[in-house]
Amino acid sequence: MCAGLFNAAIAREQQFHDLGECPLESGEIIEDCVIGYRTLGALDARGSNVVLIVTWGLGTSGEVLGNETMIGPDGWVDPERHFIVILDAFGNGVSSSPSNSRRQPGEHFPAFTILDMVHAQHRLVTEGLGLEQVHAVTGVSFGAMATYEWVIHYPDFVSHAVPVVGTPRRSPFDRMIGEVTLNALADCEPHCEQARESSWLSFVLMLRSPRYWNRRLEQDQVADFIEQMREAAKNQPDTHDMLSQSRAGLAFDVSASFDGVLERAAQVIEAEVLIVVANHDMIATPESSRVFADLSGARLYESDSDCGHLAFLAACDGEAIAAEIREFLW
Amino acid sequence: MCAGLFNAAIAREQQFHDLGECPLESGEIIEDCVIGYRTLGALDARGSNVVLIVTWGLGTSGEVLGNETMIGPDGWVDPERHFIVILDAFGNGVSSSPSNSRRQPGEHFPAFTILDMVHAQHRLVTEGLGLEQVHAVTGVSFGAMATYEWVIHYPDFVSHAVPVVGTPRRSPFDRMIGEVTLNALADCEPHCEQARESSWLSFVLMLRSPRYWNRRLEQDQVADFIEQMREAAKNQPDTHDMLSQSRAGLAFDVSASFDGVLERAAQVIEAEVLIVVANHDMIATPESSRVFADLSGARLYESDSDCGHLAFLAACDGEAIAAEIREFLW
């Protein structure tokens, strides 16, 4: 019965909400602006069991929906308990993106910020779904950065927030390594495929810590593994989509709306916040998160998993992280 | 008086030793093979105070000679006590290199291994300088890998060895991240300058740990710092030299001469060995060194400096590392 309900929930289909125009902080506009989403579970009588999940970089609501580490009886949220709304991010190829925009395709798609996206998602959740408040917002990485904007810009709307392996402000290392990687993709003709492969492979390696790779691979597996990574790199998502999210993610700083003062961003938060970081994370290094936890009084869970940015996976520290989140949210 | 002697020693000039042909493991030959070197201090009566230092990647004997962290009364070795011979590595632009070979210039320079280089350096030290044994061999990174080959292939010749931030065998992470970086330089026309800049900048960032960069730089310094790194990247050494050493370094495995069995390489060592590693090193990750210390009974010093690969610098853990080395060598 229980499993049946869950499987039924898994079948929930991709939905879209048309917002018309989405104005951006830059003054530009995303035309024919659409936010994709999927829902799982049912709203309770008091409307108090809504959990929003924002997709990770290049991830889709379909991928989040199938993720048993996050969703299910042993996950972060459970469709038997929560009404889960998974929000597709701008640039993920489902919500408005360079790859699917007819009027602003590819490089004509305007640069957006994560806050721009959160404003659009808020319109979907309030105007589209008619929700007046949510129990929680959560997300991984890109979705975690969005989670910060939700609690800072809609403080009355969100009761709990769980940003996982994200950051309230990109640290110097994040910004520098990210800029170097993106730089390799600029002006790359006629070797863009090679440039994309290189930057993708170094991103894949940095997703986990050196210690993980050295533990996981035997010497004689390295050559094959590089070949596998190369093969997998051929199925990369659209480059413009990737760049649009990378740029938004690399520039991310919740204090941007507060004259660069992180304290002021922390002070407007009314939600209870659980910040989950990974000490060996090289994509969203944990320093800013620790500072922000201090400033905001948020609860902080530091994973020591050598999986780094992927610490939340089941094979890494996923079980402990899920237990921590359940204890906080349920 | 003391300072005067030291300064006189510092003035020692670049010297060269012609070896004629240097045969390589591959069957190829470096023609007009030359090893550059400099000496400091004087040989004692018993000829028992010789310390060989092999240069680091792209470093020169002139740079090592001016390095007060390594050389001087508070360094690893002291010209008042030791007869120091600094050996230029193949591919560093001083010893035989793609950039200075007249008969095998650029891409025509044969690929060499670190062991090939050590055999040539051994010829200089024995045939050229007439030494019959040395008190110690040491070196940083590339020079540390050479240090392993010295004690493994000339066990009767070396009494003490101190490989610093090197590795006896490149770990999976080292090999993968290195291959990705080198791959960006292959077939890069017409954007080789950009490819070189990207791979150089990511190398520079990986030289230290994310934690270091986040501690060292304020948010508002990041843009300027990236600009400075870009500016500095313009003064990179010759690409073929860099590639020749990188390929030798990335393929490095002391067990290559022992059917891939690390234990057998460890067993032939007769020297006392102090292995210095940095736990946050992302260039020469420390796992293989720890294994090798166990197998060989070598003393192991693990630096926890967030400088990573550059832990030996004065501003990092240099003082403690120097004290450890002095206690071991003096």
Express each pLDDT in A189-244 by its tens digit: 777 787 788 888 889 999 999 999 999 999 999 999 989 988 888 888 888 999 99
Amino acid at residue number B36: G
Sheet with B158-164: strands ordered across: B15-23, B29-40, B83-87, B50-54, B134-140, B158-164, B272-278, B299-303
pLDDT band at B233 (very low <50, low <70, confident <90, very high): confident
Q: Can you list the alpha helix ranges (DSSP code H) found in chain B?
A: 2-10, 61-65, 114-123, 142-153, 172-183, 192-206, 210-216, 222-233, 239-250, 262-267, 287-296, 318-329
Q: What is the pLDDT of residues A86-104, one digit of tens each?
A: 999 999 999 999 999 999 9
Q: What six digits make up the tokens of A187?
A: 């002006």
CA nearest to A180 within chain B: B198
Count, in order, helices (H) and strands (E) of chain B: 12, 8
Q: What is the pLDDT of residues B262-313, one digit of tens each?
A: 999 999 999 999 999 999 999 999 999 999 999 999 999 999 999 999 999 9
- What is the predicted pLDDT for the residue at A14? 95
Q: Identify whether the C-beta of residue B163 lies closer than 8 Å to the C-beta of residue B144.
A: yes
pLDDT band at A165 (very low <50, low <70, confident <90, very high): very high
User: H or E stretch including A38?
Assistant: strand A29-40
Q: Identify whether the C-beta of residue A65 lies closer than 8 Å to the C-beta of residue A77.
A: no
| Cβ <8 Å between A184 and B198 | yes
Amino acid at residue number A290: R
Calpha distance A83→A41 (Å, rounded): 5
- What is the predicted pLDDT for the residue at B244? 96
The residue with tokens 């004692």 is B44
* Domains along the sequence of chain B with CATH: 2-173+242-329 (3.40.50.1820)
pLDDT band at A2 (very low <50, low <70, confident <90, very high): very low
The terminus-to-terminus CA distance of chain A in angstroms comes to 21
CA distance A46 to chain B (A): 44
- Cα-trace Rg, chain A: 19
CA distance A290 to chain B (A): 12
- What is the predicted pLDDT for the residue at B171? 95
- What is the predicted pLDDT for the residue at A6? 35
Contacts of B262 (CB under 8 A, 6+ apart): B168, B169, B254, B255, B288, B291, B292, B295
CA nearest to A169 within chain B: B219
- What is the predicted pLDDT for the residue at A194? 79
Q: What six digits make up the tokens of B10?
A: 């510092």
Position B141 pLDDT exceeds 80: yes
Position A180 pLDDT exceeds 80: yes
- φ, ψ of residue A120 to 5 degrees: the values are -65, -40
Position A179 pLDDT exceeds 80: yes
Q: What is the mean pLDDT of residues B155-177?
A: 97
Q: What is the pLDDT of residues B172-210, one digit of tens each?
A: 999 999 988 887 777 777 777 877 888 888 899 999 999
- Mean pLDDT of all residues in chain B? 93
| Cβ <8 Å between B172 and A222 | yes
Distance of CA B222 to the CA centre of its chain: 30
User: H or E stretch including B86?
Assistant: strand B83-87
The residue with tokens 């993968």 is B176
Q: What is the mean pLDDT of residues A169-180?
A: 94
- What is the predicted pLDDT for the residue at B199? 83
Position B143 pLDDT exceeds 70: yes
CA nearest to A175 within chain B: B222
CA distance A233 to chain B (A): 12
Substitution target in B171, B175, B189, B198 with the highest count of A β-carbons within 10 Å is: B198
A149 or B9, greater pLDDT:
A149
Distance of CA A191 to the CA centre of its chain: 30
- What is the predicted pLDDT for the residue at B7? 38
CA distance A71 to chain B (A): 32
- What is the predicted pLDDT for the residue at A9? 43
Q: What is the mean pLDDT of residues A155-182?
A: 95
Contacts A–B by Cβ distance under 8 A = 118
Substitution target in B187, B213, B253 with the highest count of A β-carbons within 10 Å is: B213
Nearest Cα residue to A76 out of A135, A118, A153, A148: A135
Q: Identify whether the C-beta of residue B9 lies closer than 8 Å to the C-beta of residue B86.
A: no
- What is the predicted pLDDT for the residue at A188? 75
The terminus-to-terminus CA distance of chain B in angstroms comes to 22
| Cβ <8 Å between B219 and A191 | no
A183 or A55, greater pLDDT:
A55
Position A3 pLDDT exceeds 60: no
Question: What does the DSSP assignment read for B129-162?
Answer: T--S-EEEEEEETHHHHHHHHHHHH-TTTEEEEE
A301 or A186, greater pLDDT:
A301
- Given B171, B181, B226, which is nearest A214 (Cβ)? B171
Calpha distance A106→A97 (Å, rounded): 8
- What is the predicted pLDDT for the residue at A4? 32
Q: What is the mean pLDDT of residues A29-46?
A: 96
Position B9 pLDDT exceeds 50: no
Position A172 pLDDT exceeds 60: yes
Q: Identify whether the C-beta of residue B305 lies closer than 8 Å to the C-beta of residue B322.
A: no
| Cβ <8 Å between B173 and A225 | no
Give strand pairing partners of B161. Answer: B137, B273
Substitution target in A219, A221, A250, A261 with the highest count of B β-carbons within 10 Å is: A219
- What is the predicted pLDDT for the residue at A106? 96
Helix (H, G, I), strand (E, B) or coil at A97: coil
Q: Can you list the alpha helix ranges (DSSP code H) found in A2-141?
A: 2-10, 61-65, 114-123
pLDDT band at A252 (very low <50, low <70, confident <90, very high): very high
Q: What is the mean pLDDT of residues A2-23?
A: 69
Q: What six digits make up the tokens of A298?
A: 């948020």
- What is the predicted pLDDT for the residue at B209? 97
What DSSP character marks residue A321? H
| Cβ <8 Å between A177 and B221 | no
Q: What is the pLDDT of residues B109-124, one digit of tens each?
A: 999 999 999 999 999 9
Whether the bond into A98 is cis, omega within 30 of 0 = no
Position B4 pLDDT exceeds 50: no
Q: Identify whether the C-beta of residue B53 lies closer than 8 Å to the C-beta of residue B36.
A: no
The residue with tokens 């291959």 is B179
Q: What is the pLDDT of residues A38-71, one digit of tens each?
A: 999 999 999 999 999 999 999 999 999 989 899 9
Q: Identify whether the C-beta of residue B36 lies closer than 8 Å to the C-beta of residue B15.
A: yes
pLDDT band at B11 (very low <50, low <70, confident <90, very high): very low
What DSSP character marks residue B252? -
Q: What is the pLDDT of residues A307-330, one digit of tens each?
A: 999 999 999 999 999 999 999 999
pLDDT band at B230 (very low <50, low <70, confident <90, very high): confident
